[in-house]
Structure 1
Amino acid sequence: MFGKLLNHQVKNQEIIVEFEKKQSKIHIITDEIWNIFASFDSEEEPSAAIEGNKQRDTEFTVVKKDEYLQIATKSVIAKIYDDFKIDFYNAEGKLVCEDYRGKRVVRKGVSEEFIQMALLEGHQVEQKKEHYKIEVLKKMQGDEAFYGLGDKTGFLNKRGYEYEMWNSDIPDPQVDSFKALYKSIPFYIALRKESVYGLFYDNTYRSYFDMGKESDEYYLFGAEQGNLNYYYVAGDSIKTIIKNYTYLTGRTHVPQIWTLGYQQSRWGYESENQVREIATNLRKYDLPCDVIHLDIDYMERFKVFTWNKEHYDDPKKLIKDLKEDGFKIVTIIDPGVKVEEGYSVYEEGVKNGYFATDKDGDIYVNSVWPGKSVFPDFGNEEARTWWGNNHSFLLEQGVRGIWNDMNEPASFEGQLPDDVVFSDGVKKANHAKVHNIYGHMMAKATYEGLKRLDGRRPYVITRACYAGSQKYSTAWTGDNHSIWAHLKMAVPQLCNLSLSGMAFVGTDIGGFGSDTTKELLCRWVQVGCFSPLFRNHAAKGTRFQEPWQFDEETLNINRKYINLRYQLLPYFYDLFYQTEREGLPVIRPLIMQYEKDEVAKNMNEEFLVGENLLVAPVLDQGQTCKMVYLPEGTWYDYWTKELVEGGRYILRDAPLDVCPIYVKAGTILPNYTKQSYVGEKEQDTLILDVYPGEGSYTHYQDNGEDFAYQAGEFNEFHIKVNKDNTCTINLVQEGYDKVYKMIRVNCLDHVVEFQVNDMESVNGGRVIKVTL
């Protein structure tokens, strides 16, 4: 395809490489991030995922050898051969990622006659493509494990599976064999015993990833359209890879703190009376809650930016009344705009050319919830601004967050044809190119609109994503079901989303489709308690699954874990502070912290919250004893404070009300006092649970709502647990005026309490050392 290597030229940090048949380019973005590009459909275009100039001044060398061209920075060495084969090495010259030189081995297809016969019995038979227009084969060294790729089904380690990047609305119960779901994040991390790297294939067309299913000799990615355009991401650990990837594609900002509280939802709460009843019961049953979600029934005949006045007499008063009791309202918005004369959203969009068209230039019409509908062109900057400004209608009613759904885009009359015309951010483009970034661009439009209109940190939830969506939105895993298989799948699914840059993620607690059971709901809330997005949501026609809809035991267990979440709110908030600064996710698979641990490599049933809080939920029906794997080190049972040595499996009794949780020695966990919602009471006492050992921690405090923290209006505490059984607390940044009045240090059974004003002033900060 490329032919023999001929020559090269260097322009700034780009190396243009000439082959017999084609030209390619290697762009050194940073020492550890390199872009590999060759044009197949078009010249290089702006990325939907990457915003701004990410290039850093980087020293590098380019040397022509007899058989290859060598490019090197201080961390990465690349050798480019004939046919644009590239091998990457680390600074010590150890091979990390090697292009495969052999041929693809594709399974033989089956006859058309067999396919037709199979279809009669209801079987779908896939015809394997022999080659993609663009494909890259990487040599399998033998010990690779693969992580990331977004919210794909199945297990944590993606070795031996194949996937497609094509945002898909699939309400059927998802199983391991599904190749695509709602999100397309074409980024994976390849881990070996002695090396690790990341690879981001920035091609928005339908693309394919075979992680060793087709052959043990290689793994591959490819696409039928677009360009060869991937980023090689180097680093010495999974953490470094994630830091570099999120530097490239963007990081999740610190959210408003109330968004980390419990959220109650259902499709649908159909009237004002029903919403008020839900709010009343949440407080009546002493269930802390900050958010009630409104699904499509709040709208007038499912028309976006309207309100159903028949069932909601005075939405503004409803939201005001709920606010007085601590509730915030989040409303759903779909992209489909109803075709209706006199409907201002439709008519404005038509007048200004904001809707997608068919290839002949006529507005494209399909059907979704409102009936005949048209689709905003979110790649058009003017259309995004218009869409964002439409949210003023909801904000004026008091709405605090927006939930984007159906934005794959989904439709009722089959998938949108590939030739429907949108914009790609620069020029006109077809649906085949825009499909995977449609939800991403809708989230961007919503985020920018809320930020412009409201000024607070926008709260946007999206179902469909692309790489980089973490800058604009939280996400949930879509329409799961109330089945144990989906609870079990939630752990690796959320962990892989986290490794893919999406830090603020969750599942529908209890399951969306089907009917949950009280046992399943109890076990699911124990996973949800530790998921960044903590929302109970169910579908119309299924069993009501608010916690009080079951027996007293179920109610008590849900209350226990919702209270635990509110107790740990400052810990989650601190982790998001770390996410914005460093790109590291909130929940993490064990392998992210313990890369050399062979058990952690394939651990599907446990996860970490931050570095040192290990959660081992029960994920099987009827199970009351959990086999827990503890990595190396010393751990404390969160509930009993029992000391346990790691590096082994242990058996932990786990009756229905117990989720096994372990805390590593030397950990500091910040806590708040009990509250029914964020802001119910001033949290003027910081509680620090300290687990003996040696460790350090950074605690963060700000106003929890706006962007003033980015101008320095925040407080930062550095806390250290010392070998001599003392704890040093240092207030190093005091830019927010509501610093805590008191700090209470709990060390197992020992409590030390002091006034912040009693801390000694040292070097512009405040410090105190206490004995545990």
Structure 2
Amino acid sequence: MNIGKLQNTKKNNNRVELTFEKSKIYLEVITENIVRVLNPCWKEDYESIAIEKDKSVDTDFNFEFKSGKVCLTTSSLKLEIGDNFTFTFIDKNGIELLTTYSGERKLRQTLSEKSKKLLEAEGHDVADENKDYKVQVLFKRFGDEYFYGMGDKTGFLNKNGYKYENWNSDIPQLHHENMPALYKSIPYVMVKKRSGQPFGLFFDNTFHSYMDFSKESSDYYYYGADNGNLDFYFMIGDKLPDIVEEYSYLTGRAPMPQLWTLGYHQCRWGYESAEDIRRIAHKMRENKIPCESVQYDIDYMEGYRVFTWDEENYEPKGELIKELSKDGFKAVCIIDPGVKKDEGYFCYDEGVEKDFFAKDTDGEIYVNEVWPGDAVYPDFGRKEVRDWWGENHKRLANMGMQGIWNDMNEPASFRGPLPLDVQFHIGDRLTDHSEVHNVYGHFMSKATFEGMKKITGKRPLVITRACYAGTQKYSAVWTGDNQSVWSHLRMLIPQLCNLGMSGFTIAGTDIGGFGGDSNPELLSRWIEAAAFCTFFRNHCAKGQIMQEPWEFGNKTVDIYRKYVELHYRFLPYIYDLLRISQETGAPVMRPLVYSYENDPNTYELNDEFLVGDNILVAPVVEQGATKRMVYLPEGTWVDYWTKERISGGQYIIADAPLDVLPMYIREGSITPMYAPVQYVGEKKYDTLELLIAGDTAYGTHYQDNGEDYKYLDGEYNMYSFKYADGKLETTMEHEGYERYDDIKVVRI
């Protein structure tokens, strides 16, 4: 960055202003472990969308300007800055972690026109990305870095060698491992080096941006953006969980969900009538597969008009929902942002009257095509628009809807992408689509969450396809329109592990695949792999074969039931982990490197994961496999099915016939369980079972009503357990809720 010599500095509380010949740089000490670096090359007074409220705390730090160089030091890190904004972050042991690269980018050689024409003639994409970006910073590659995070970008757990774009994209085609962009933009990476402390980087810029992890050159990795500021947060810690805690401190943590929302959901784009929904619900109960909801995809609406109900095909408003609720089914429906352009339709008329829709540069309401045909787009960046949108959910809540699924909110469109100059707002500030695109889904989720919370008084279930960093405060996510192929089953694990470490602790994938045709083996292995997902839904597309388990025969039904019941057995443990996440941001589903980062064998394990610290899961993700290699880290692990005790620090060969998910319990742990039910609320959870591994074991458990916010007023229980000498000792760390009638020990 050629901004000249460093001329002078000015310190004001936790903020330092550096004046160079051609620009200013601001340093902000957020905590002793977090430093913000801002080059306001676009806007000096920009307010973050991901980070709400001031996160800085009083922090002692030393600041020195000497011999043309700045040195800022906290108890955890040192930052040195010189001319032309060259800088180095150093850990407390003096090891260099992050340094600007001193050379030039090694841009790919531009294709000749002849070569372009030849490639285009054969159907190849020859988009020329051979350019420097308006906002750009290169970092020296030391050669021992591993990169994690970035949400659910495709590819493997370690992002070394990949290049990604942050530009929310609706891509229905098969997602391959080097897909540059998907539905979410989370410009955050955790960097683990073999030497020195781990650190994190969050680039808070909503414009189209690019992150290259040494794909272009092994000498450097870089961040670039088409516009906006260079605005990033450097986070340091002793271990990877510290980085997750700091990042989630900045951008927020997923709120406690209602307990039922963690259960199993069934869906299909293609349940086209009340009778379809009713039939699926009855078959779930008939086959004794636990289920919380049969979700309503777009067909339930009248002409795809949001906040409406098709009474011709789905019977009078609320009647089907009320009928199925008697058998424990909760109603969850899809809502898209595209509002049908239709005079006389209340949502369109109100939005026009109140001037709530995005406009083109001529001041006319912008129109594109989505499911309802010609459609307009609410300007969700304005609070008054979000409030209006949230209030409209009363129409759904009054019918009995308890959960909202936001889709098509990249925003998607059928007549080409929205032009970058479509006019939107962020607060009162007029801007355009180039800035708003990546946060459009974020603002929609915020509107939905706040609206449903106000209307129901309960913890909202909001699910979103598109989002930005920080959306986890308002919504769960899933990985979008995946496909019924083995490569997408394999990709489930790194996608959900990286999502978890990127703040999204409530996340899942369409079980069985959304597009394409599943089969008995693939669906069986998928339900096994997904059994510990915090958003647990089977979903498939119209035009594909039906994907309910009974469509594949009794053997598939038996396997499917076994693993849905397993999920319900461990619901209290999953709920416990989400409570812990409130305090630390720790993911439920996590890669082994998260907990065993001193073990190099864990750095690139793509096909197994931990559920908290107590459970290791190693799904079969290869067609035809009935055995698989499993790495067990240090300690002793107990096979959940055979109860065999196995020493860690080694690879083993696990037997895995079609109905077996290899899973292992950490010796010394106590894991809470419930008896299986057909749905949460079928019967009172009056008995807690404790799965105890080992002769001496410890654990905790959290309990509340699983519905509302009374826990914030102390209406919860916190148990602490110790098992030794054949006896269980229970201590109440906090008591503010009705206790269990019984606590049973289950030895393994």
* Same topology, TM > 0.5: yes
> Which of 238, 243, 246 does residue 244 from structure 1 map onto?
246
Separation (CA, whole Å) in 2 of partners of 1:409 and 1:141? 39
* 1:244 counterpart letter in structure 2: E
Return 33-42 or 535-544, whichever deviates more. Answer: 33-42
**What SS does the aligned partner of 1:230 have?**
strand
**What SS does the aligned partner of 1:204 have?**
coil
- Equivalent residue for 1:763? none
> Which of 665, 681, 691 does residue 693 from structure 2 map onto?
691
- Equivalent residue for 1:404? 406
Is the CA contact 1:268–1:294 (under 8 Å) kept in the aligned structure 2? no
How far has the Cα of 1:726 moved from its partner? 4.8
Once the two structures are superposed, what CA deviation does each residue of 1:626-670 show, in whole Å capped at 9, x if it has no partner?
111111111000111100011111011100000000111111111
**What SS does the aligned partner of 1:540 have?**
coil
Separation (CA, whole Å) in 1 of partners of 2:11 and 2:384? 37
Q: Report whether the alignment pairs 1:707 with 2:709.
A: yes
- Equivalent residue for 2:743? 743
* 2:35 counterpart letter in structure 1: W
Aligned positions of 1:631-670 closer than 5 A? 631-670=633-672
Separation (CA, whole Å) in 1 of partners of 2:5 and 2:469? 34
- Equivalent residue for 1:435? 437
Separation (CA, whole Å) in 1 of partners of 2:194 and 2:708? 43
**What SS does the aligned partner of 1:118 have?**
helix
Aligned positions of 1:202-281 closer than 5 A? 202-281=204-283
How far has the Cα of 1:101 moved from its partner? 1.4
**What SS does the aligned partner of 2:459 have?**
coil
Separation (CA, whole Å) in 2 of partners of 1:346 and 1:693? 65
- Equivalent residue for 2:74? 73
- Equivalent residue for 2:528? 526
Once the two structures are superposed, what CA deviation does each residue of 1:135-159 show, in whole Å capped at 9, x if it has no partner?
1111111110000111111101000
- Equivalent residue for 1:161? 162
How far has the Cα of 1:721 moved from its partner? 4.1
- Equivalent residue for 2:131? 130
How far has the Cα of 1:112 moved from its partner? 2.7
Is the CA contact 2:164–2:181 (under 8 Å) kept in the aligned structure 1? yes
- Equivalent residue for 1:754? none
Separation (CA, whole Å) in 1 of partners of 2:158 and 2:695? 32
**What SS does the aligned partner of 1:688 have?**
strand
**What SS does the aligned partner of 2:431 have?**
strand
Return 99-108 or 676-685, whichever deviates more. Answer: 99-108
Is the CA contact 1:605–1:617 (under 8 Å) kept in the aligned structure 2? yes
Is the CA contact 1:505–1:532 (under 8 Å) kept in the aligned structure 2? yes
Distance 1:693 1:215, change over 3 A: farther
Q: Report whether the alignment pairs 1:468 with 2:462.
A: no
* 1:102 counterpart letter in structure 2: G
- Percent identity, aligned pairs only, is 51
* 2:404 counterpart letter in structure 1: I
* 2:250 counterpart letter in structure 1: L
How far has the Cα of 1:426 moved from its partner? 4.1
- Equivalent residue for 1:500? 502
- Equivalent residue for 1:758? none
Separation (CA, whole Å) in 1 of partners of 2:101 and 2:268? 49
**What SS does the aligned partner of 2:540 have?**
coil
> Which of 545, 551, 554 does residue 553 from structure 2 map onto?
551
- Equivalent residue for 2:27? 26
How far has the Cα of 1:694 moved from its partner? 5.0
Return 462-471 or 120-129, whichever deviates more. Answer: 120-129
**What SS does the aligned partner of 2:294 have?**
strand
Separation (CA, whole Å) in 2 of partners of 1:501 and 1:114? 44
Separation (CA, whole Å) in 1 of partners of 2:403 and 2:463? 8
* 1:396 counterpart letter in structure 2: N
How far has the Cα of 1:375 moved from its partner? 0.2
How far has the Cα of 1:44 moved from its partner? 2.9
> Which of 590, 605, 608 does residue 606 from structure 1 map onto?
608
- Equivalent residue for 2:682? 680
* 2:358 counterpart letter in structure 1: A
Separation (CA, whole Å) in 2 of partners of 1:688 and 1:54? 39
* 2:655 counterpart letter in structure 1: D
Q: Which runs of 5+ in 2 are unaligned?
A: none
Separation (CA, whole Å) in 2 of partners of 1:116 and 1:358? 35
* 2:740 counterpart letter in structure 1: Y
Q: Which runs of 5+ in 1 are unaligned?
A: 749-772
Question: How many residues were matched structurally?
Answer: 746
Once the two structures are superposed, what CA deviation does each residue of 1:227-285 show, in whole Å capped at 9, x if it has no partner?
11001111111100000000000001110000010100000211111111111111001
Separation (CA, whole Å) in 1 of partners of 2:428 and 2:654? 57
* 1:746 counterpart letter in structure 2: V
- Equivalent residue for 2:180? 179
How far has the Cα of 1:674 moved from its partner? 2.0
How far has the Cα of 1:725 moved from its partner? 5.8
- Equivalent residue for 2:515? 513
Is the CA contact 1:136–1:222 (under 8 Å) kept in the aligned structure 2? yes
- Equivalent residue for 2:374? 372
**What SS does the aligned partner of 2:314 have?**
coil
**What SS does the aligned partner of 2:241 have?**
helix
Separation (CA, whole Å) in 1 of partners of 2:658 and 2:60? 58
**What SS does the aligned partner of 1:62 have?**
strand
Is the CA contact 1:61–1:72 (under 8 Å) kept in the aligned structure 2? yes
- Equivalent residue for 1:757? none
Separation (CA, whole Å) in 2 of partners of 1:498 and 1:566? 21
Aligned positions of 1:35-184 closer than 5 A? 35-184=36-185
Is the CA contact 1:329–1:401 (under 8 Å) kept in the aligned structure 2? yes
Is the CA contact 1:588–1:609 (under 8 Å) kept in the aligned structure 2? yes
Separation (CA, whole Å) in 2 of partners of 1:639 and 1:278? 31
Is the CA contact 2:108–2:130 (under 8 Å) kept in the aligned structure 1? no
How far has the Cα of 1:91 moved from its partner? 2.2
Is the CA contact 1:591–1:597 (under 8 Å) kept in the aligned structure 2? yes
- Equivalent residue for 1:751? none
How far has the Cα of 1:712 moved from its partner? 1.1
**What SS does the aligned partner of 2:224 have?**
strand
How far has the Cα of 1:93 moved from its partner? 2.5
Is the CA contact 2:133–2:225 (under 8 Å) kept in the aligned structure 1? yes
Is the CA contact 1:242–1:499 (under 8 Å) kept in the aligned structure 2? yes
- Equivalent residue for 1:765? none
- Equivalent residue for 2:341? 339
**What SS does the aligned partner of 2:514 have?**
coil
Separation (CA, whole Å) in 1 of partners of 2:98 and 2:730? 44
How far has the Cα of 1:547 moved from its partner? 1.1
**What SS does the aligned partner of 2:178 have?**
coil
* 1:73 counterpart letter in structure 2: T
How far has the Cα of 1:67 moved from its partner? 4.2
**What SS does the aligned partner of 1:28 have?**
strand
* 1:132 counterpart letter in structure 2: Y
- Equivalent residue for 1:284? 286
Return 688-697 or 254-263, whichever deviates more. Answer: 688-697
Once the two structures are superposed, what CA deviation does each residue of 1:111-145 show, in whole Å capped at 9, x if it has no partner?
23322332121110131333111111111111100
How far has the Cα of 1:693 moved from its partner? 5.5
Q: TM-score, normalised by structure 2?
A: 0.99
Separation (CA, whole Å) in 2 of partners of 1:689 and 1:500? 30
* 1:146 counterpart letter in structure 2: F
- Equivalent residue for 1:310? 312
Separation (CA, whole Å) in 1 of partners of 2:291 and 2:515? 23
- Equivalent residue for 2:580? 578
Q: TM-score, normalised by structure 1?
A: 0.96
How far has the Cα of 1:593 moved from its partner? 0.6
Separation (CA, whole Å) in 2 of partners of 1:286 and 1:506? 23
Separation (CA, whole Å) in 1 of partners of 2:705 and 2:141? 50
Separation (CA, whole Å) in 2 of partners of 1:531 and 1:697? 21
**What SS does the aligned partner of 1:486 have?**
helix
Is the CA contact 2:670–2:700 (under 8 Å) kept in the aligned structure 1? no
Is the CA contact 2:501–2:590 (under 8 Å) kept in the aligned structure 1? yes
Separation (CA, whole Å) in 2 of partners of 1:315 and 1:594? 52
- Equivalent residue for 1:568? 570
- Equivalent residue for 1:767? none
* 2:554 counterpart letter in structure 1: E
How far has the Cα of 1:312 moved from its partner? 1.4
